[in-house]
Amino acid sequence: MITILIVWEAIQRFYHPQPVAGATMMVIAVAGLLANIFSFWILHRGSEEKNLNVRAAALHVLGDLLGSVGAIGAAIVILLTGWTPIDPILSVLVSCLVLRSAWQLLKESVNELLEGAPRAIDVGELKRKLNRALPDVRDVHHVHVWMVGEKPIMTLHVQVIPPHDHDALLERIQHFLEHNYNIEHATIQMEYQPCSGPECRLSELHAGHDHHHHH
């Protein structure tokens, strides 16, 4: 919205050039630039954890910073040549830069808010790997993965041969997911009976030829 307003204002100024006080503009722009450099430095120091909010704030400050640089450039041109259209031209340019970054951030935020799946996890491959790593695991189904706060979270049902030590097997499955898929938080439901329900029949059909080999 702000970008649109700035561009609209810039277009008005092309048609009706306004007198611009170059010196005043210069002072304010330099003050703004220093404030923004300071803010950006503080935020940039804190963005190690690559938090979306910190990055959004840093983006905002960076937008202002570019604006200040643009204003300083325009003020210099106006002071030296008196050519005022440079002001709206730089406004439009800075707006485009800010818009581009904002779009990136928006895409990421939307994916996170919609709890979008991270880079797709191949469930078939996960089943095979898990089965190879832990022979006690017979089947994996109802696998769901989504992102919360930039960390993948997973829920899954595992059909296992009744273990001697339930917790140890659970821990091994969690270790497997963390080690192979970088998933630190998984909720695992362990079942001793074969899976029942419509989704299971579907996976039975898909894996029909697979199952005969196991038996």
The reply to whether 94 and 168 lie within a common domain is no
Q: Which residues contact 64 (CB under 8 A, 6 or more apart)?
A: 32, 36
Mean pLDDT along residues 76-101: 84
The reply to whether 15 and 102 lie within a common domain is yes
The reply to whether 131 and 93 lie within a common domain is no
127 found inside a domain: yes
Q: Of residues 75 and 195, which shows the higher confidence score?
A: 75
Q: What is the model's pTM? A: 0.45
H or E element that contains 140? strand 137-148
The reply to whether 58 and 142 lie within a common domain is no
The reply to whether 109 and 128 lie within a common domain is no
Residue 128: what residue type?
R
Q: Which domain holds residue 198?
A: 123-214
118 found inside a domain: no
Question: Given pLDDT bands bounded at 50, 70 and 90, which one contains residue 145?
Answer: confident
Domain closes at, from 113, 141, 167:
113
The CA dihedral of 211, 212, 214, 215, to the nearest 10 degrees, is 120
Asked if residue 35 lies in contact with residue 78, where contact means CB atoms within 8 angstroms, the answer is no
Domain closes at, from 66, 82, 113:
113
The reply to whether 16 and 47 lie within a common domain is yes
Q: Residue 27 and residue 76: Cα distance in Å, rounded?
A: 11
Q: Which residue has the tokens 């830069």?
A: 97
H or E element that contains 146? strand 137-148
91 found inside a domain: yes
| Predicted pLDDT at 213 | 45
Asked if residue 68 lies in contact with residue 31, where contact means CB atoms within 8 angstroms, the answer is no
Kindly give the interhelix angle for 86-113 and 52-81, rounded to the nearest 10 degrees: 170
| Listed residue (150, 70, 167, 159) closest to 111, CA to CA | 150
We report the CATH number of the domain holding residue 127 as: 3.30.70.1350
| Predicted pLDDT at 98 | 81
| Predicted pLDDT at 171 | 92
The reply to whether 20 and 53 lie within a common domain is yes
Q: Give the tens place of pLDDT for each residue, 19-42.
A: 777 788 888 889 989 998 998 888
* Total count of domains within the chain: 2
Q: Residue 145 and residue 117: Cα distance in Å, rounded?
A: 6
Q: Which residues contact 137 (CB under 8 A, 6 or more apart)?
A: 130, 131, 158, 159, 160, 173
Q: Give the tens place of pLDDT for each residue, 165-211.
A: 889 999 999 999 988 888 888 999 988 876 666 655 555 455 444 44
The reply to whether 109 and 207 lie within a common domain is no
The reply to whether 68 and 127 lie within a common domain is no
The reply to whether 188 and 164 lie within a common domain is yes
Domain closes at, from 56, 91, 113:
113
Taking the alpha carbons at both ends of the chain, their separation in whole angstroms is 63
The reply to whether 133 and 40 lie within a common domain is no
The reply to whether 109 and 184 lie within a common domain is no
